[in-house]
A and B are shown apart, each in its own frame.
Chain A
C-alpha cells in the first residue's frame, strides 16, 4: 500500500469519526455555534408559503420526520409539545418546526391533521422534494428512502431535534428518547440564551 493510499484511508477514518461525533452531538460537539439551515421556499401545514424567515428572530427546535412513521415522529411530536407546554410562557419564545423528509406523501393536508393532533405550537414544513432535500442537508440531517417488499417505502432519518438560537446558530440537540428533564433544561437554556 502506498503512503498516499494510507493517508487517504486515515482521512476517511477521520471523516467517519468526525461525522459520528458531530451527529451523536450535543452542544459540546464540533457543531457548536455553527450556522444551521439555508434560505428556503416551502409550504407550511396550512398550505401557506413558508421561508427561512419563519425561523428568524426566535430560537427554534427543528425536527425532521415523516407521517408514515410508526414511532419516532409521533413520540417526538408528543414530547416536544409537552416540553413546550411545560416551560409555559417561556416556551412561547421558541419556534418549533416539523419538516417532512417525505414531502411527496406528506401533503399540507396530511401534515395539518397529523400535527394539529399534537400541538398548535408546531409548524409543519413540506413542499418541493428538491428544496426539502437542500434544507435537510443544510441542517446536516440524514434521510434515505428505503423500499419495502410490496413496492412501498419507508424513510431512514436523523431522529434528533435540533436547537438553534435566534440567529440560527447551533445550540445542541435533543436525542430521541432523551429524558424530559434534560430536554426541558435544554429548552430553558435556549430561551435564556436568547434573552441575554
Chain B
C-alpha cells in the first residue's frame, strides 16, 4: 500500500470531516444523545414542545439497567423548570389519571423502563418559558444508587401516536414497566 502524501492525507481528513458533519446535520434533532451512568444507559431523552405560557411539559426516554441490582429514578432538577417529578399517566375507562410516583420509578436489574406518552414521564413543572421544538434543554436526573447525571433533552413536537425511537436492545431482557394496564 502506497503512502499518502501529506496533502492527500489532509484532503482525506477534510473529506471525512465533511461527511461526518453532513451526516450529523442530516440526522438533525431526531438523534438525541445517549448517556451512561454506571450500569444505567439512558437513550434519547426528549421533552414535549409546549405552547407559550404552558405551565408543564413531559420528558420521555428509555432507561436500561445492565447491572444486577435494581435502581430507582427518584427525581431531578432542570434549568428550565421549577420542579421536576416522576409521574405516571393512566387511562381508567375514559378518565385520565396522573400520579406522582412516590419513592421513585424502579429500573429493574437487567431490564429497562420506557418513559413515553401514555405512561411514565418526567414531569417538568413551573416552566420558565416555552419549550420549542429543536431546542436542547439541560436537566439532571437523580437515581437512588447510581447518583446524578446531567443530560440534555431534545425538545420535540411529540405527535399523537408517534412511535418513540430508542436504540437497539436485547428484547429477551426487556421489561416494559410502562405497560401496566389500567385497572377498572
Contact = CB atoms under 8 A, between A and B. Distances in A.
Interface of A: 20, 23-24, 67-72, 74-75, 78-79, 105, 109-110, 113-118, 142, 146, 148-150, 152, 154-160, 173, 175-177
B93 to A, nearest CB: 6
Given A148-B100, A149-B100, A150-B83, A159 B94 contact: yes
A72 B56 CA distance: 12
Nearest to A175: B94
Interface of B: 48, 50-58, 83, 85, 87, 89, 91, 93-100, 102, 117-118, 121, 123-125, 159-161, 184
Contacts of B83: 150, 152
A152 B124 CA distance: 13
Nearest to A65: B96
Contacts of B117: 71, 75
Contact of A118 (B51, B85, B93, B95): B51
A70 B56 contact: yes
Contact of B94 (A110, A148, A176): A176
B8 to A, nearest CB: 53
Given A148-B85, A157-B96, A177 B56 contact: no
A70 B94 contact: no
Nearest to B85: A148
A114 B96 contact: no
B54 A114 contact: yes
B102 A113 contact: no
Contacts of A113: 51-53
Contacts of B159: 78
5 contacts: A71-B89, A113-B51, A113-B53, A148-B85, A159-B96
A23 B92 CA distance: 11
Given A70-B48, A78-B160, A177-B118, A156 B98 contact: yes
B98 A24 contact: no
A69 B54 CA distance: 9
A177 B51 contact: no
A149 B94 CA distance: 25
The 4 closest A-B pairs by CB, nearest first: A117-B51, A70-B58, A113-B53, A159-B96
Contacts of A157: 95-96
B91 A176 contact: yes
A117 B95 contact: no
B46 to A, nearest CB: 13
A20 B48 contact: no
Contacts of A78: 159-160
Contacts of B91: 159, 176-177
Contacts of B50: 74
A141 to B, nearest CB: 9
